[in-house]
Amino acid sequence: MEEIDSADRLAENLEKIEMPTQIVAVMADPLLQKLMVLRPDAEGFARVSNWIAAYMTDVATGDADPSVLLDMVDVIHSYVLNTKVRISST
């Protein structure tokens, strides 16, 4: 993904790109969000949903810094708007 710096380059290399192992990167990166839309992957969407659920559980149990919660809500909001994916609870 380092050499992908525009939507055109993303389209040119769509088949070669692999999703990052740190799936949370998808939530904050508009190009990775476009990749999720252009090349839908149920496992990738499930991984994002699971990460969000785990993060929210960590906040609820005090294992994550609650001051970051509003920033995460903004990131999640942007992700949902850009991918049009409904995040389900597990």
Would you place residue 89 in the very low, low, confident or very high pLDDT band (cuts 50, 70, 90)? low
Question: What's the CA gap between 6 and 27, in Å, rounded?
Answer: 17
Q: What contacts 81, CB < 8 A, 6 or more positions away?
A: none
pLDDT tens string 35-87 = 888 888 888 888 888 888 888 898 889 888 878 888 888 888 888 888 876 66
Span 12-24, pLDDT tens digits: 877 777 777 787 7
pLDDT at residue 86, rounded to an integer: 67
> How far apart are alpha carbons 48 and 32 in whole angstroms?
12
* Alpha carbon distance 41, 67 (integer Å): 32
pLDDT at 88 over 70: no
Nearest to 34 by CA among 90, 77, 85: 85
Could you tell me how many residues make up the chain?
90
**pTM for this structure?**
0.69
CB-count burial class (<10 Å; 0-12, 13-18, 19+) for 26 = buried
